Amino acid sequence: MGCNQRCGLLTVAIIGAVLAILGGVLIPVGNHFVQKTIKREAVIEKGTIAYQNWVIPGSPIYRQFWLFDVQNPEEVMQNGSAPVLKQKGPYTYRMRYKPKENITEYFDNTLSYFQPNIIRFEPDLSIGSENDTVTTVNLAVVAAPALFKAGLIQALMDIWMKSSKSYFLQTRSVKELLWGYEDPFLKKIPMSKVPKVVGVFYPVSINSKGKLFTYNNYLASKLRVIFFLFQRTVRYWQSYCGMVNGTDAASFHPFVNKSEELRFFSSDICRSISAKFESEQIVKDIPLYRFVIPPSAFASPITNPDNVCFCTDISISENCTLGGMLDISSCKAGKPVYISLPHFLHASKEFFQFVKGLKPDKEEHKTFLDVEPITGFTLHFAKRLQINLLVKPNPKITALRKIKHHFIFPILWLNETAIIGDEKADIFRSKVTNKIKLLNFLQLTLMIIGSVIFLGFLVAFFLCKGKSPK
């Protein structure tokens, strides 16, 4: 009888050990199952989750604009005083909510497509209407000397500016500044090739085209946007700075690691850039990794030597010692456009000398991507950039004669943001997150129950054996 009891206890202990081992075995088996599923679903091919999210955006994309309004226009124009700026906004637009069109597959594992770029004003998400006015730098007056450097042409431009009553500063509606207006000074120029309409985002691109590689073996090669307007490199930068690296930031390779940098190409700044891990986030019950653009991305070559080929103007950058600004004039047909983070975040203190009212805030003005690490999908992001113009004094042009020193003039900053919608989040949780949670729960449960049974009944077996009569 004693033997039967001890044998029963030993049998149960062995069963517990088997359950614990089974739980341990499920870890590599489960991981293999997860990897196999992700490899299948993360490839941009018809029928996969990645393809559905790529063709139709999984969440609405909004662009919020804050425009800088000059509070002391008379002092600036008459005395060359530093402009005192006050931001007005947000003015919010919904963008890129149409599915991609004309998707064509090629034999070399590439896809080409057109992305309809529809822009719709959202009054309920804005502080006012598009007709609100802002006093800011005169886009045409400031850009003209950079585009036409000959002394005779500049003398003629001064005449046309005076006759059109165009000054260093102007007051325009939000809609005009963003999307374009017919400029009175440009209308005076008799050359037909000179555009008469100007705006920060003019001309508005109705359709943007692109081409990307897709890989069947998604883990062996990261999804990359190889072609920007069907080019492997951009001509705006010398050397490796002109390479088109990374994705379009909508997705990255599966099984993202915290220690790596995520690279993506941004058409807004005409270059590739990378983001580094900052923190873990939970968005709609989905665990995510937050990657942010580090200060080194726009740092001077002294701080970050890799940025040496982004230094294009020795004078403005003071021999490449100043950071926080990116000259993209070559990408904007010669217009003196500079990109920074909002309110000159992480920029050198020298840029704050000639403008007043900027208040950089790390949390409010940083760019981040919240990436689901298993699939590599970006489920939440905020891309924040500031658009500025380089202003230079010019003795030949009356409107620019009172300016005392060249400086970077902030026009606006934007926040392009999106977060996965509730319906898409439900689908994602059911197909990915919940299955992985269930698998992990099953693994852990089997290991705990099996270990408890094994140890409990093993102890009981030895206790029983010790009490048995000799």
**For the purposes of burial, counting CB atoms within 10 Å of the CB of 65, is it exposed (0-12), middle (13-18) or buried (19 or more)?**
buried
Give the largest Cα separation in the chain, rounded. Answer: 120
- 151 pLDDT exceeds 60? yes
Name the residue among 421, 435, 443 with its Cα closest to residue 37: 435
pLDDT at 166 (0 to 100):
96
pLDDT (average), residues 181-191: 93
Decide: residue 427, CB within 10 A, 0-12 exposed, 13-18 middle, 19+ buried.
middle
Confidence at 429, pLDDT banded by 50, 70, 90: confident
Question: Does one domain contain both 438 and 408?
Answer: no
Tokens 């991507």 correspond to what residue? 369
Please check whether residue 162 lies inside any domain of the structure: yes
Task: Share the mean pLDDT of the chain.
Answer: 81
Tell me whether residue 327 is in a domain.
yes
34 and 141 inside one domain: no
Lowest mean pLDDT among 76-80, 137-141, 253-257: 253-257
Q: How many domains does the chain contain in total? A: 2
Neighbours of 449 (CB within 10 A): 14
Q: What is the pLDDT of residue 232?
A: 72
Specify whether 135 is located in the same domain as 197. Answer: yes
Residues 30 and 138 in one domain: no
> Residue 388, exposed/middle/buried by CB under 10 A (0-12, 13-18, 19+)?
buried
Q: Are residues 437 and 412 in the same domain?
A: no
Q: How many CB atoms are closer than 10 A to CB 304?
A: 16
Question: Given a cut of 90, is residue 35 above it in pLDDT?
Answer: no
User: Mean pLDDT highest for which of 14-18, 94-98, 209-213, 278-282?
Assistant: 278-282
211 in a domain, yes or no?
Answer: no
Q: Is residue 49 part of a domain?
A: no
- The answer to whether residue 163 is domain-embedded is yes
Query: Quick check: is 213 in a domain?
Result: no
Give how far the C-alpha of residue 88 lies from the chain's centroid of Cα atoms, to the nearest Å: 23
> Are 201 and 338 part of one and the same domain?
yes
% residues pLDDT > 90 (the chain)? 50
Q: pLDDT by residue (tens digit) across 354-407?
A: 999 999 999 999 999 999 988 888 999 999 999 999 999 999 999 999 999 999
Please give the Cα distance from 349 to 11 (Å, whole number).
75
Is 111 contained in some domain? no
Sequence-distant (≥ 6) Cβ neighbours of residue 116 within 8 angstroms? 96, 98, 99, 100, 101, 206, 207
What mean pLDDT is predicted for residues 174-187? 95
Whole-number pLDDT of residue 424: 79
Nearest to 61 by CA among 96, 25, 11: 96
Do residues 286 and 194 both lie within one domain?
yes
Same domain, residue pair 157 and 231 = yes
Owning domain of residue 364: 59-97+119-206+219-420
- Statement to judge: residues 377 and 255 lie in one domain: yes
- Give the pLDDT band (50/70/90) at residue 411: very high
Lowest mean pLDDT across 52-61, 133-142, 301-310: 52-61
Q: Please answer whether residues 220 and 42 qualify as being in contact, where contact means their C-beta atoms are separated by less than 8 angstroms.
A: no
Q: Give yes or no: residues 32 and 65 share one domain.
A: no
Mean pLDDT of the 313-339 span: 92
* d(C-alpha 145, C-alpha 158), whole Å: 10
d(CA 459, CA 470): 20
Position 219 scores a pLDDT of: 33
Q: How confident is the model at residue 427 (pLDDT cuts 50, 70, 90)?
A: confident
Residue 206 has pLDDT above 70, yes or no: no
Averaged pLDDT for residues 76-86: 96
How many CA atoms within 13 Å lie on the side-chain side of 423?
A: 5
Residues 397 and 443 in one domain: no
Query: What pLDDT, on the 0 to 100 scale, is given for residue 3?
Result: 55
Q: Is residue 16 part of a domain?
A: yes
Domain match, 332 and 454 both: no
The predicted-structure confidence for 207-255, as pLDDT tens digits, reads as follows 454 544 443 333 333 344 444 445 677 888 888 888 888 777 888 888 8
Distances (CA, A) of 72 to 75, 79, 81, 83, 351: 6, 11, 9, 6, 19
State the SS3 of the chain.
CHHHHHHHHHHHHHHHHHHHHHHHHHHHHHHHHHHHHHHHHCCCCCCCHHHHHHHCCCCCEEEEEEEEEECCHHHHHHHCCCCEEEEEEEEEEEECCCCCEEEEECCCCEEEEEEECCEEECHHHCCCCCCCEEEEECHHHHHHHHHCCCHHHHHHHHHHHHHCCCCCEEEEEHHHHHHCEECHHHHHCCCCCCCCEECCCCCCCCEEEEEEECCCCCCCCCCCCCECCCCCECCCCCHHHHECCCECCCECCCCCCCCCEEEEEECCCCEEEEEEEEEEEEECCEEEEEEECCHHHHCCCCCCHHHHHHCCCCCCCCCCCCCCCEECHHHHCCCCEEEECHHHCCCCHHHHCCCECCCCCHHHHCCEEEECCCCCEEEEEEEEEEEEEEECCCCCCHHHCCCCCCEEEEEEEEEEEEECCHHHHHHHHHHHHHHHHHHHHHHHHHHHHHHHHHHHHHHHHHHHHHHCCC
Please say if the pLDDT value at position 437 is more than 70: no
- How much is the pLDDT for 57? 62
